[in-house]
């Protein structure tokens, strides 16, 4: 059986990066930059004042010096003249420094009246002056491809005059649920039926991974029905199905994928929850058959689908961050497969602590609700209370 690392490597080696498109800046939040950004302007474009006060020549500012106020410059204007020896100019935050001046004295530090100012002390050259290009030099490479655009990058792009930016396309991911027992949202489950969970948790996980989800609905456990839906996934960049990948007579997803033309690369990974998971290629499209239990489907998505969608979408970092936390209770993993146990994190006096979110069965969806992370526990191991756990972070730290 493959290890999680072997399976992920086999998957990622077959994942293409998607093409690019241009998007408007206000809608670029969370998108992934596809090309480097080289500054086409200097920021700031000219020296300017960081205070309301007086633009002066620093050499004229001996203690007690009096200077003649020869003009005024506001933000948005240009100075009508320069500042000569013995002179000062009234200036406001963001206004260009007049020629000749090399410092600003804040208005709190002068006595003013009668067209003159008296200084209380000397000013250093460059005091309260924002120099030309001190933030960004023209020609500097300021953003790298693969950067996820946050508010700060968007501000920088706007300042550099980019109304649009080239970003990677978001992967369109078709989601298919399979099973005779499934009643979809909007219908009341009849005797023997259970509600369809996976379509909706997986669609949400696709969105979290920066993709667009397409709902292919529920296919019954019949080869032709599943094959039909798999073919419908040709309009998407990837397909994620759940259930029907185990060894029962009604586990038909692998065969249906093959009949629809997919080449299957792997099946079964040494982990819990999970184990039966299949991955293949339908032409250029990656396809996954995840296990049916809701927790298994979510956890295998985290480990094997999310990194692939991030790669398709142009991201550089493909894995979630891992942290270490102290076990606040005994964490057992009996059995021969590596465990991915749902934990809630707590800030404690001795640093971060982790507690299981409750019963860990792969059908116990509540164990996923409010899980901050997945504790990675080796096979046949009991982590004693107080020992360190390795945790894959699923959410922001508490």
- Options 70, 243, 269, 383; binder of Mg ion; rule CB under 5 A: 243
Instruction: Tell me if 171 contacts Mg ion by CB under 5 A.
Output: no
Residue among 53 and 291 whose Cβ is closer to ligand AMP: 291
90 token code pair: 């009234």
- Quick check: 182 binds Mg ion (CB under 5 A)? no
Contact in structure between 84 and 94 (CB atoms under 8 Å) = no
- With a CB cutoff of 8 Å and minimum separation 6, the contacts of 385 are 327, 328, 329, 330
Sole binder of ligand AMP in the list 205, 242, 360, 367 (CB under 6 A) = 242
Binding mask 168-207 for ligand AMP (x = CB under 6 A): ---------x-x-xx-----------x-xxxx--------
Q: Which of the residues 293 through 352 are near ligand AMP (CB under 6 A)?
A: 293-294
Residue nearer to ligand AMP on the CB measure, 243 or 305:
243
Q: Which span (237-245, 254-262, 329-337, 348-356) binds Mg ion, by CB under 5 A? A: 237-245
| Residue in 47, 53, 211, 244 binding ligand AMP, rule: CB under 6 A | 244
> Would you count residue 294 as binding Mg ion (CB under 5 A)?
no
Q: Kindly state whether residue 291 participates in binding ligand AMP, applying the rule CB under 6 A.
A: yes
- Nearer CB in complex with ligand AMP: 48/198: 198
Q: Looking at the DSSP assignment, which residues form a beta bridge with residue 347?
A: 352
Shortest distance, position 233 Cβ to ligand AMP, whole Å: 16
d(CA 126, CA 122): 12
Shortest Cβ 370–Mg ion spacing (Å): 28
What's the closest the beta carbon of residue 248 comes to Mg ion, in angstroms? 7
Answer with the entry of Mg ion, ligand AMP, none that 294 interacts with (C-beta below 5 to 8 A by kind): ligand AMP
Nearer to ligand AMP, 209 or 240 (CB): 240
Binding part of the chain for Mg ion, among 23-31, 53-61, 239-247, 262-270 by CB under 5 A, reads: 239-247
Nearer to ligand AMP, 182 or 356 (CB): 182
Site string for ligand AMP, 134-173 (x = CB under 6 A): ----------------------------------------
276 binds Mg ion (CB under 5 A): no
179 contacts Mg ion (rule: CB under 5 A) = yes
Least separation in angstroms between CB 251 and Mg ion: 6
| Residues found near Mg ion in the complex (CB under 5 A) | 179, 243-244
| Residues found near ligand AMP in the complex (CB under 6 A) | 177, 179, 181-182, 194, 196-199, 242-244, 246, 291-294
């Amino acid at each position: 059986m493959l290890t999680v690392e072997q399976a992920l490597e086999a998957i990622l080696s077959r994942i293409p990066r998607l093409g690019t498109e241009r998007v408007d800046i206000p809608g670029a939040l969370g998108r992934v930059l596809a090309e480097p950004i080289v500054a086409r302007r200097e920021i700031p474009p000219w020296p300017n004042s960081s205070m309301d006060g007086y633009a002066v020549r620093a050499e004229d500012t001996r203690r007690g010096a009096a200077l003649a106020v020869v003009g005024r410059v506001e933000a948005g204007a240009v100075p009508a003249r320069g500042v000569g020896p013995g002179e000062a100019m009234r200036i406001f935050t963001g206004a260009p420094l007049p020629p000749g001046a090399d410092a600003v004295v804040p208005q709190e530090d002068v006595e003013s009246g009668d067209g003159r100012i008296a200084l209380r002390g000397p000013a250093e050259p460059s005091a309260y002056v924002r120099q030309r290009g001190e933030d960004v030099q023209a020609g500097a490479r300021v953003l790298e491809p693969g950067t996820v655009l946050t508010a700060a990058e968007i501000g920088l792009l706007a300042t550099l005059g980019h109304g649009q930016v080239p970003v990677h396309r978001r992967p369109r991911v078709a989601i298919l649920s399979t099973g005779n027992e499934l009643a979809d949202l909007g219908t009341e489950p009849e005797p023997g039926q259970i509600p369809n969970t996976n379509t909706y948790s997986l669609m949400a996980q696709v969105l979290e991974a920066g993709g667009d989800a397409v709902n292919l609905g529920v296919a019954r456990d019949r080869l032709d029905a599943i094959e039909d839906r798999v073919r419908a996934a040709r309009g998407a960049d990837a397909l994620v199905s759940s259930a029907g990948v185990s060894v029962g007579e009604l586990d038909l997803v692998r065969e249906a994928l093959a009949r629809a033309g997919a080449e299957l690369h792997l099946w079964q990974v040494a982990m819990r929850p999970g184990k039966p998971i299949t991955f293949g290629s339908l032409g250029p499209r990656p396809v996954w058959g995840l296990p049916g239990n809701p927790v298994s489907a979510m956890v295998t998505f985290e480990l094997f689908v999310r990194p692939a969608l991030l790669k398709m979408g142009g991201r550089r970092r493909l894995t979630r961050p891992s942290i270490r936390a102290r076990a606040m209770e005994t964490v057992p993993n009996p059995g021969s497969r590596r465990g991915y146990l749902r934990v809630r994190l707590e800030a404690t006096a001795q640093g971060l602590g982790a507690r299981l979110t409750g019963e860990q069965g792969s059908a116990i969806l509540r164990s996923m609700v409010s899980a901050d992370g997945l504790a990675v526990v080796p096979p046949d191991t009991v982590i004693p209370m107080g020992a360190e756990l390795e945790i894959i972070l699923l959410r922001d730290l508490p």
